[in-house]
Every structure is written in C-alpha cells, then in structure tokens.
Structure 1
Amino acid sequence: MAAIWDDDPTAVLLTGEFRDACAAAGARRLQVNVSDAAVAGAMRISELDPPIDAVVSVWADDASAVLDLLDARVRTLAAWQVAERAPLDPALPADGTRIDALANLAFLRRPRDLPRAEWLRIWLDDHTRVAIDTQATFGYTQNIVERALTPDAPVVDAIVEELFAMAAVSDVHAFYGSGGDQAELERRMTRMLASVARFGAHQNLDVVPTSRYDFEVGPR
C-alpha cells in the first residue's frame, strides 16, 4: 500500500496508461483511493503534514516495479508491505467505476509501551467485533504493516479501510448506524472510543476520507 502526495493524483492514478503500465509490471489488481470533492465534508485527521492525498493498493508477487512507476509519476510516495484481513468483504465492481461509498483509511501507530503481540491481540481479537457492531460499515479491511518498502516512510503499524454509505460524509447517525436516536448514537460512540483507546488508536493516527476505485489489471 502506498500513500501518495500530489497536486492532482487522479490525473495519474485513474488513467488507462497507468493501469496498463502496472499490469505490464506484474500487478494483478489495483485499488485507488483519492481524497476528493465527493468526500470533502467527511472528518479528516492528519498527523502527517502535508496530509495524504491518495492511497494506491497493489496486489502483485513483487510490487517493486509498480512502486517505481508510481515514484516516477507522483510528487511523493511512501509504501508498506501489508498482510490483509477482511472481516467485512463485500462484492464490489472492479471495472474502475467509483464505489458508492465513503472509504475511510486510518493509518494506525502502536504505542511504544504496548508490546506488538498484545497490540495485535487487542485490535484484531477484541476490537474488530466492537467496530462492526458500533458503526454502519459494509466493508472493513485490516492491513497489518510488515515492513516499509520506501526509504524514510513514516512509521505506520496498520492501515484500516472502512466503507460507509455516502450519507455518512455529513450525517453522524449514518456513520454510526444509530437511526437518528441520540442516546443510541452516544452509546455507540462511547463504546467505540473506549475500545480504540485500549490499543492507542484514539491518537497519533491519520484518517483519510476517500473515493475508491477498483481495477482488475492482470491475470489472477
């Protein structure tokens, strides 16, 4: 997964030329997430300065050639090798149409005083059910960072993607699935915040609201 900083990432990342080049470099699948006008009203948290403009996910046996392509086409990138888990994995079109969703990407950092094994246990074993139960997500992917792939990549321990209905851009009840009930909204928010605080995901994170596009570009 590569975080992108660029003035106009869509001018590169959503072109047929880029997809063809990625396929020739060995990519089987691409996912492009762009922070654009469609999600401009959604909550953003930026620990990094400047904030992330886009994220590209690449499925390939060796992503180094694709990263070289990206590096030549955008202003700045940082990339990580990740292990993917998908507790909520909806069937989505992979023809390059915009997914009808607010796709939130959260870049998590483990507190240094919390051992990695315990951090993973709390997040993956305890928190996953809470996240699904307290938010109106229809897609939820957990990417565990295994190593940085680019020099000077920021420290990131995990990258989470959650898919919400577009109404969640501006409606907190749509985000949490509380149906307009203020007491239920507060109950869900309180439970969620208590859970993320257990593994440090309430601070020192980046949350990037995006539009998402999926592409099958090579043989599976």
Structure 2
Amino acid sequence: MEKVIITLRGVDADDKWCARMRAAVAADLLDLDLPGLAVNLRDDVVRESLMTLTTLDPPIIGFVTLWTQQSYGDQVHAAIARLSDEAPDVAAYLVTESVPLPPPETVPGQRTAGFANVALLRRPADLDEATWLRRWHIDHTPVAIETQSTFGYTQNAVVRALTPQAPPISAIVEELFPEAATKDLHAFFGAADDDDLRDRMERMVASTAAFGANRDIDTVPTSRYVFRTPFVTNDIRRRAAT
C-alpha cells in the first residue's frame, strides 16, 4: 500500500468549488476503487486562520490524499487527470506516513471536527537527511504534541514527486486543532494564560528552528473530509471475528 498526496493551486476556492470537490469530484475518485481517499479544502470555515503561512505562489487551496497499491499505476494517473480539470496546478507526491497521534474516526464524507493545519516543510541544505529526520521525528514530535492543542498528528516524509514541475518539498504534516484555534493563539497552543502561551511558543520555535521548520514553510488551514480509509480498526476486526 502506498500513500500519495496531491496539492491543488491556481483556482479560487469559493463555496461552489469546494462543494464540487466534496461531492462530484470525490465521487469520481471513489469510482476509481481507491483503497483510501481524503480531501482537505481551504474553505470559508478556515480561510482567515491566524496560522496561515505562504511561500508558494499561487498558494495551495486543497489537498487530495490517496491510498493505492501502485503510486505509478492507473488509479493515480486517472486521479491526477481528474483533478487537473479542477485546478490548473496539480502536483503529486509519494510519501511515507507516520502517525504519532492518530486522528479520531469520522463518518465517511463528514467534516472532521475542528480544522486541519497542513504544513509543507523543506529540508535546509546544511542539514543531511538523517540529521533532519532525527531532529524532526525524534526531537520535535513530543514537543509539538506537548505545546499545542493538537488532537491528531500525521507526518508524511516525501519520497519523490510524481508529477513534472512539482515544487520541491521534503514533508507534508497534518495536525488537527479545535476550531477556536483559527482565531485564538491561546486555543491553538492550549495555553492557560499569557505566561503559559509564551513558554509554549518559545519551546515550539526553538524546536522547529533545530530542523529548519521555522522558515521557508507553508501552513494551510483546511477542512478535512475522509471518504474512505484503508485501515481496519480493532473494533471492526473484533466484530468480524464474532
């Protein structure tokens, strides 16, 4: 099983476009018999989030995540072709997924509670890959979970781009936050007061600076919709066995 993340740019993510992505486009992608499908959209619910940082021009306004048996197979090619009808700039990446904090299960197609902040990371040229991964995965992960109000945390290290002219990125991170965190730093960091907020922010900045995630970064607030998952929960396994 392989995971592919596709970024969408160059179109106005208005209500009509977002509704079409959640309905007609998602249905067309499900018809490809993909084992897993999720769609993240920068819609009106999250558009004015305080935690928006933009490096790419035009900015990313949506992500489509696919799980497939072959990243180089017909399913992915067909998905990219379909999404190219919806946005002029479509880039696909093969990734490896780590999930330090599993997101809650949701009803298929229903918006996940809160919002998903999706970050695009770029490895600094002065850090070799092994050092960068250690500082990100081993050193930073517990700090990110301890200092923020995150209730879901997925790390995707980019293996390679699957489309020509895809912007170079090293990782795509998805963190779930309460909806109040779009407008309130205390809610974003889960801080009890101003002193607690200052302490959490200082710890977070120091940790991200160690692996270059304090610069040259995009953070895209999105509404998250999971339409199909390739993973079977333990509860489903138990029910199937009885």
- Give the TM-score taking structure 2 as reference length: 0.85
Q: Does the CA-based 8 Å contact 1:19-1:217 persist in structure 2? A: no
How far, CA to CA, are the matches of 1:73 and 1:51 in structure 2? 15
Q: Which residue does 1:88 correspond to in 2?
A: 101
Q: Which residue does 1:23 correspond to in 2?
A: 30
2:194 is aligned, of 182, 185, 192, to: 182
Q: Which residue does 2:7 correspond to in 1?
A: 3
Residue 206 in 1 paired to residue 211 in 2?
no
SS at match of 1:98: coil
Residue 34 in 1 paired to residue 38 in 2?
no
Instruction: Tell me by how many angstroms 1:18 deviates.
Output: 2.5
1:189 partner amino acid? M
1:52 partner amino acid? I
Q: How does 1:153-164 map to 2 (within 5 A)?
A: 153-164=166-177
- Percent sequence identity is 44
How far, CA to CA, are the matches of 1:209 and 1:164 in structure 2? 10
Instruction: Tell me by how many angstroms 1:12 deviates.
Output: 3.5
SS at match of 2:82: helix
1:135 is aligned, of 143, 148, 151, to: 148
1:166-212 CA distance string (max 9 Å, x none): 11011111110112x11111001000000000000000010001111
1:136 partner amino acid? S
Q: Does the CA-based 8 Å contact 2:67-2:230 persist in structure 1? A: no
Indicate the larger mover: 28-37 or 188-197: 28-37
CA RMSD, Structure 1 to Structure 2 (Å): 1.7
Instruction: Tell me by how many angstroms 1:76 deviates.
Output: 1.7
Structure 1 gaps of 5+ residues are none
How far, CA to CA, are the matches of 1:31 and 1:189 in structure 2? 30
Q: How does 1:27-106 map to 2 (within 5 A)?
A: 27-42=34-49, 43-62=51-70, 63-106=76-119
Task: Give the count of matched residue pairs.
Answer: 218
SS at match of 1:73: coil
Instruction: Tell me by how many angstroms 1:23 deviates.
Output: 2.7
How far, CA to CA, are the matches of 2:230 and 2:174 in structure 1? 23
Q: Does the CA-based 8 Å contact 1:23-1:218 persist in structure 2? A: no
Residue 215 in 1 paired to residue 227 in 2?
yes
SS at match of 1:95: coil
Instruction: Tell me by how many angstroms 1:92 deviates.
Output: 2.1
1:38-66 CA distance string (max 9 Å, x none): 11231211100111111111111132322
Instruction: Tell me by how many angstroms 1:103 deviates.
Output: 0.7
1:132-160 CA distance string (max 9 Å, x none): 01001000000000000110000100000
How far, CA to CA, are the matches of 1:165 and 1:209 in structure 2? 12
How far, CA to CA, are the matches of 1:202 and 1:51 in structure 2? 18
Q: Which residue does 1:165 correspond to in 2?
A: 178
Q: Which residue does 2:238 correspond to in 1?
A: none
- Give the TM-score taking structure 1 as reference length: 0.93
Structure-2 change in CA distance of 1:80 and 1:109 (3 Å): same
